[in-house]
Amino acid sequence: MANAPKPTTPAQKKEGGSKSGIFSTLVIPICFVIAILLFIFVLGDPSHYKGGDVEHGDPTDVFGTVHKGGVIVPVLMTMLLMLIVFSIERFVVIGKASGTSSVDSFVHKIQVFLNQGNIAAASAECDKQKGSVANVIKSGLKKYKEMEEEPNLDVDQKTLAIQKDIEEATALEMPMLEQNLTIIATLVSIGTLLGLLGTVTGMIKAFQALGASGAPSQSALAVGISEALINTALGIGTSAFSIIMYNIFTSKIDSLTYAIDETGFSIVQTFAASHKNK
């Protein structure tokens, strides 16, 4: 057991939160720069327009069509890139928090060891599993052992101490799992709003061109309406993708929280049942 991982300390959590904050701060401007470069040099390449005329030519493919969406397109692209980056980051973090094997299988093994009264084996299983769930359970098991050797408290006080320790360990682990979810949740609203803003600006351009021509102009109307619809599609698409990813991550976190609560309850009940007559 000499090489067993130690539970994460508050200082380590603070350091991890600081690194995550730096990561979040850097991702946004980097995504914005990448989006602008893609908009100018990829979507705005003359090969995507008839005659190579970016200003007045009609787009020949989807890249040119998206480029016609105007200046709001790079902003929406930035949000989409941010969503992809933060989604990958959350998948990695939550995957590590789950541990090396199935959380359900791990919880079942812990409950079997608890029913057998084999606390040492349960603690060893936590060392093999690793991750946030295992850290919390191991903290509770450590407190379990401490309370067995505590002569100055009654069973109810010891049980309460174990429960409190598990709750504190959970409170240390949960912020790491929920970091950057607020950004994904924010993208849900901002994506839709920016899409609507692009719709409005596109329609304004369409009617301005129509008014300036003095007569119905199919070309002028088509440009403005095209910009409006492109921005609408990008905004709604980004928002929908954000909703899906947010729900996936919250569902995963809820599953981990349930596993912690279920196992923590088993630890407390096992201690209470095995020491009620002592």
pLDDT in tens, 130-168: 999 999 999 999 999 999 888 888 889 999 999 999 999
How far apart are the C-alpha atoms of 90 and 208, rounded to whole Å? 45
Q: 274, 257, 259: which is closest to 158 by C-alpha?
A: 274
> Which residue is listed with tokens 């401490």?
146
Report pLDDT for 6.
47
Given a cut of 70, the residues of the chain with pLDDT beneath it are: 1-20, 212-217, 219-220, 277-278
Q: How many C-beta atoms surround the C-beta of residue 153 within 10 A? A: 12
List the structure tokens of 205: 């351009």
What is the enclosing helix (H) or strand (E) of 152?
Answer: none
**pLDDT, tens digit, 9 for 90 and up, residues 62-71:** 898 899 888 8
Report pLDDT for 3.
43
Report pLDDT for 217.
61
Q: 105, 158, 162: which is closest to 137 by C-alpha?
A: 162
Report pLDDT for 5.
42
pTM comes to: 0.84
> Which residue is listed with tokens 């705005």?
44
Domain locations along the chain: 11-275
